Amino acid sequence: MSQGAAHCLAACSLQLAACSLQLAACSLQLAACSLADM
């Protein structure tokens, strides 16, 4: 694998990690919102 592809994979995995963190925060907000509705 070339150096460029490895760099791209690393950046992609970092983006995936940030995305999953955002998803977790979003689900927490949804849970808080549903709790506030009750």
What's the confidence (pLDDT) of residue 25?
A: 96
Give dist(CA 38, CA 23) in Å, integer: 23
pTM above the 0.75 mark?
no
Domain ranges in the chain are: 1-38
Q: What would the pLDDT profile of 1-38 be if each residue is shown by its tens digit? A: 578 888 889 999 999 999 999 999 999 999 999 999 88
Give the per-residue pLDDT at 1.
Answer: 59
* Largest pairwise CA distance in the chain: 54
Helix or strand holding residue 37 (H, E)? helix 3-37
How many alpha carbons fall within 13 Å on the CB side of residue 32? 6
| Nearest-angstrom CA–CA distance, 19 and 17 | 5
CA 11 to chain centre: 13
